[in-house]
Structure 1
Amino acid sequence: MMLTKFGHSCVRLEKDGRSLVIDPGNFSDVEAALDGCDAILVTHEHADHIDPDRVLPWLDAAEAAELHAPDSVVRQLRSHGAVGGAGHRIRAVEPESSLSVAGFDIRTFGGQHALIHPRVRIVDNVGYLIDGNVYHPGDSFVVPHGAEVRTLLVPLHAPWSKTAEVIDFVVSVRAGRAFPIHDALLNERGISVAEKHVGFFGAAYGTDYQRWGSGETREV
């Protein structure tokens, strides 16, 4: 399976001629990520994870493509003016469930976004484990139970986290390898500092943390 980053938290997985995109948000290269893809997974409603103004016209024109997201996101997208006739291809997913999308086997975890502040509303968030291999947690540090993650996508920086929590998440999941996501708010200096700590402690617990940039592809 091939894994490509398209900025911030947006990734594309490809195998056997099929492709799946996760979190095409407004900090990402949405058009490149969605080019020819078969399905979209959305972890939660925040704009850096789903850009309706760009995603919904594409979905309407794609004819057979599907979008899967938490129910709260589905309701918002179906009521959006750009949805066109694609509303029936926008489908709700629940945490702690299993489904097959575009030839990929998916397990879902979590249920809610990490706390930003007590006065900021907590929204639904679903993490996705793809083919028992790649885990995208969205905006959460939920450790998938009953699963051995081989490739972890690590939210490197966010208004809701601190580096110590990022380290603890990587250590808890114990994946063989890890790649950064959710890093668009950091400059190169900030990325270097965060990655130094995450890479050091991850290695101590058996996780090979690797940097990758937007547009780069890894075989996983």
Structure 2
Amino acid sequence: MKLTKFTHACVRLEQDGRVLTLDPGGFSETGPALDGADAVLVTHEHGDHLNTDAVVAALAAAPALVVHAPAGVATALRAAAPAAAERIHDAVPGASFEVAGFAIQTFGGQHALIHPSIPVVANVGYLVDGNVYHPGDSLIVPPGIGVQTLLVPIHAPWSKVGEVVDFVASVRAPRAFQIHDALLNENGLAFTEAHVKRIGAQYGTEFRHLAARESVEV
């Protein structure tokens, strides 16, 4: 499987001629990320994970494109793209389904707490082909699952470095790459990733930074 990292939380997976895009948000290069996509998975409603206009345009341009997203997001997308409503599906935690030839399992249910005064929204994490796990804005560890490739939300308003390190140590995936990295400058990113790399290695995880548009086989 080919994994391409885009800016912030967006990744693109390619396998057997099929393309799956996760979290094409406003901080990401949504055009290239969505180009030729067969399916889109959205973890939650925040704009850095979902560029609604870009997804609606992709649905109009590609008659076979399907989208899975939490119910509130899916409802809003169906309203914005009524002609594609039947191709927009509700995603719930604890489910399994196949899309564009990829086997999907879902986890979580809620976005991590930012502050008690800020409402918590739905968040669904996706495990693709028992291999790549995108948790969205959460640090939910899939129970009883041997994740092979972990996408690590390296920094967010709702997290601290220790929590991120504990997440990596708990999942214990053989390899990990960063997502949710657009809010840090180079110094902050290097500082945080150094902790994840050093401590993650003690638990069998090889962490590597991926540049925007960089691809790797997983």
Same fold (TM over 0.5): yes
Aligned to 1:114: 112
Consecutive aligned runs of 4 or more in structure 1 exceeding 6 Å deviation:
none
CA distance in 1, matches of 2:213, 2:61: 24
CA distance in 1, matches of 2:19, 2:35: 10
2:132 matched to 1:134? yes
User: The residue matched to 1:9 in structure 2 has which SS?
Assistant: coil
CA distance in 1, matches of 2:39, 2:111: 23
Structure 1 residues 90-124: Cα deviation after superposition (integer angstroms, max 9, x where no partner): 11111001000000001000000000000101000
Q: Which ranges in structure 1 are unaligned for 5 or more consecutive residues? A: none
Map 1:37-76 onto structure 2 (within 5 A): 37-76=37-76
**% identity of equivalent residues:** 60
User: The residue matched to 2:150 in structure 1 has which SS?
Assistant: strand
Amino acid corresponding to residue 13 of structure 2 in structure 1: L
User: The residue matched to 1:86 in structure 2 has which SS?
Assistant: helix
Amino acid corresponding to residue 27 of structure 1 in structure 2: F
CA distance in 1, matches of 2:60, 2:112: 31
Q: Is the 8 A contact 1:60 1:84 kept in 2?
A: no
How far off its partner does 1:146 sit? 1.8
User: The residue matched to 1:68 in structure 2 has which SS?
Assistant: strand
CA distance in 2, matches of 1:165, 1:19: 32
Aligned to 1:78: 78
CA distance in 1, matches of 2:92, 2:199: 33
How far off its partner does 1:49 sit? 0.4
Aligned residues: CA RMSD: 0.7
CA distance in 2, matches of 1:21, 1:114: 22
User: The residue matched to 2:83 in structure 1 has which SS?
Assistant: coil
CA distance in 1, matches of 2:3, 2:217: 6
Structure 1 residues 52-77: Cα deviation after superposition (integer angstroms, max 9, x where no partner): 11111111221000000111111121
Aligned to 1:147: 145
Give the TM-score, by structure 2 length: 0.99
Amino acid corresponding to residue 23 of structure 2 in structure 1: D
Aligned to 1:11: 11
Alignment: residue pair count? 218
